[in-house]
């Protein structure tokens, strides 16, 4: 559980206190660096909690280099046993809905998520069920026969049973990041399309950030939500603990007039066997998205080549032909190379910098962070403004323990 540090007054309360002259003290000024899924939502919830917030991004929210770029992301609660992410996904779902209503926008498409479970070891899936129940996420268990009756367009060879989450589905990615920025600006936030160019943020004393236009930014608290770039900005504290890996994503064209592979007839799906492959039908007309979750080689998010490999395309084509035989000859419409920003244990990194008490490091989305954006943002606003400590699972000192 999150605990407040003893003897400290929540900053929110400090903000509300009046000075001896009777004038209100200025608000806590928080600088958030990075307007992706983690930083954007954090900036928004800090603002809603009464902070003054300056949000910065080098290339803009959901840009093509960012981990939050591209068309779509899966939202699901099936996460295995003993982890906090099922509950976080449930809270995030609620907040995605609330914000959609507030902005009158459609960002979450609850087309359902089908999790195909392989014959053999199904501890991950069995362990997910109590977590789903506890989090209040509705689901159905389907036998192989039920799966075949419901989705005859899938070749179910090697599948034993399935979990179906009717309220799961997909989120728009780039569009949602932009919507968060628009909401943030409409509610009074300040945004600068600039990069932090300070070096050596780990060591030495600094009390302001050097920005790419030569100006400086000074704030009471700093949150670095720089996705795959976090290790470069904090080489000692983070360094290789955020390892960007190259991930290829493919969009195939479905036969004209055939709805079997669109989100009208097929939910988001995940195929958990020796490899973990997933797909999102629909994608605003961009085709049938398929990707392999296996970690690719290390990747440079700034200048890495984003052309997919012939080998990656062949592997995914073979897979599609096997699992969705009617798409055997489907043309490749589009492809993308994105990167995961992996922490060593795939858990998020949420902690204060060990030297700079007013600097927070937020990242390590590890290929599953996007859906949690609003829940993380809400949690971060509480941690920063109420001076609480993050859960041990997210803290940096776990890495020291992992090495021992």
Ligand X SMILES: Cc1cc2nc3c(=O)[nH]c(=O)nc-3n(C[C@H](O)[C@H](O)[C@H](O)COP(=O)(O)OP(=O)(O)OC[C@H]3O[C@@H](n4cnc5c(N)ncnc54)[C@H](O)[C@@H]3O)c2cc1C
Which residues in this chain contact ligand X in the complex, by CB under 6 A?
A: 33-39, 56-59, 63, 66-68, 73-74, 195-196, 225-229, 247, 249, 291, 338-340, 363, 365, 367-371
For ligand X, give the closer residue by CB, 308 or 330: 308
Cβ distance to ligand X smaller for residue 11 or 291: 291
Strand partners, 140: 164
- Residue 174 or 352 having the CB closest to ligand X: 174
Give me the least distance between CB of 391 and ligand X, in Å please. 18
- Nearest residue (CB) to ligand X, 226 versus 254: 226
Q: How far is C-alpha 146 from the chain's CA centre?
A: 32
CA angle 181, 43, 188 (to 5 degrees): 65
Cβ closer to ligand X: 12 or 69? 69
Least Å distance, CB 351 to ligand X, is 14
Helices (H) and strands (E) in the chain, counts: 10, 21
Residue-by-residue DSSP string for 138-181:
--EEEEHHHHHHH-TTS--TTEEEEEEETT-EEEESHHHHHHHH
As a whole number of Å, the CA-based R_g of the chain is 22
| Nearest-approach distance from CB 143 to ligand X, in angstroms | 26
Q: Which is nearer to ligand X, 117 or 209 (CB)?
A: 209
| Least distance to ligand X, CB of residue 185, Å | 16
Residue 309 CA to residue 296 CA, distance in Å, equals 11
Q: Between 11 and 181, whose beta carbon lies closer to ligand X?
A: 181
Determine contact, residues 223/362, Cβ cutoff 8 Å: yes
Q: Give the pair of three-digit tokens for residue 112.
A: 């359902």
CB of 281 to ligand X, least distance (A): 13
Which residues, 6 or more positions from 402, have their beta carbon under 8 angstroms from its beta carbon? 344, 345
For residue 63, the minimal CB distance to ligand X (Å) is 5
3-class secondary structure, 97: helix
Using the structure block, give the residue that is written with the tokens 């979990």. Answer: 163
Q: How near is the Cβ of 50 to ligand X at its closest, in Å?
A: 23
**Of residues 58 and 330, the one with the C-beta less far from ligand X:** 58
In the complex, minimum distance from the CB of residue 75 to ligand X, in angstroms, rounded to a whole number: 7
| Residues 350, 395 contacting (CB under 8 angstroms) | yes
Distance CA 220, CA 31 (A): 8
Residue showing tokens 């034993």: 160
Q: How many residues does the chain have?
A: 404
Distance, in Å, from the CA atom of 306 to the CA atom of 303, rounded to the nearest integer, reads 9
């Amino acid at each position: 559980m999150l605990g407040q540090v003893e003897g400290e007054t929540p900053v929110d309360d400090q903000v509300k206190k009046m000075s001896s002259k009777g004038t209100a003290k200025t608000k806590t000024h928080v600088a958030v660096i990075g307007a992706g899924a983690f930083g954007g939502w954090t900036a928004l919830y800090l603002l809603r909690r009464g902070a003054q917030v300056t949000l910065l991004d080098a290339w803009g929210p959901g840009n093509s280099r960012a981990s939050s770029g591209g068309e779509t992301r899966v939202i699901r609660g099936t996460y295995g046993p003993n982890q906090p992410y099922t509950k976080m996904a449930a809270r995030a779902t609620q907040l995605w809905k609330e914000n959609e209503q507030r902005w009158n926008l459609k960002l979450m498409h609850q087309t359902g998520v089908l999790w195909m479970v392989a014959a053999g070891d199904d501890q991950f899936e069995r362990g997910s069920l109590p977590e789903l129940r506890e989090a209040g996420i509705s689901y159905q268990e389907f036998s192989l026969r039920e799966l075949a009756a419901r989705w005859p367009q899938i070749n179910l060879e090697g599948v034993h049973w399935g979990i179906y989450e009717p309220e799961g589905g997909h989120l728009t990615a780039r569009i949602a990041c932009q919507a968060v920025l628009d909401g943030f600006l409409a509610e009074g936030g300040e945004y600068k399309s600039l990069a932090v160019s300070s070096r050596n943020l780990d060591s030495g004393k600094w009390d302001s950030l050097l920005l790419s236009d030569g100006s400086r930014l000074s704030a009471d608290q700093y949150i670095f939500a720089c996705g795959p770039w976090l290790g470069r900005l904090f080489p000692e504290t983070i360094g290789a603990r955020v390892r960007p890996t190259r991930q290829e994503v493919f969009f195939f064209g479905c036969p004209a007039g055939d709805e079997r592979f669109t989100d009208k007839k097929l939910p988001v799906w995940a195929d958990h066997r020796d490899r973990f492959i997933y797909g999102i039908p629909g994608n605003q007309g961009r085709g049938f998205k398929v990707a392999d979750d296996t970690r690719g080689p290390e990747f440079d998010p700034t200048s890495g080549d984003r052309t997919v490999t012939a080998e990656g395309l062949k592997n995914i084509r073979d897979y599609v032909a096997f699992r969705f035989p009617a798409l055997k000859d489907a043309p490749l419409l589009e492809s993308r190379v994105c990167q995961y920003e992996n922490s060593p244990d795939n858990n998020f990194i949420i902690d204060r910098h060990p030297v700079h008490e007013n600097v927070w490091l937020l990242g390590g989305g590890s290929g599953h962070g996007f859906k949690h954006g609003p829940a993380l943002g809400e949690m971060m606003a509480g941690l920063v403004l109420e001076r609480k400590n993050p859960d041990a699972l997210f803290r940096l000192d776990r890495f020291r323990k992992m090495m021992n």
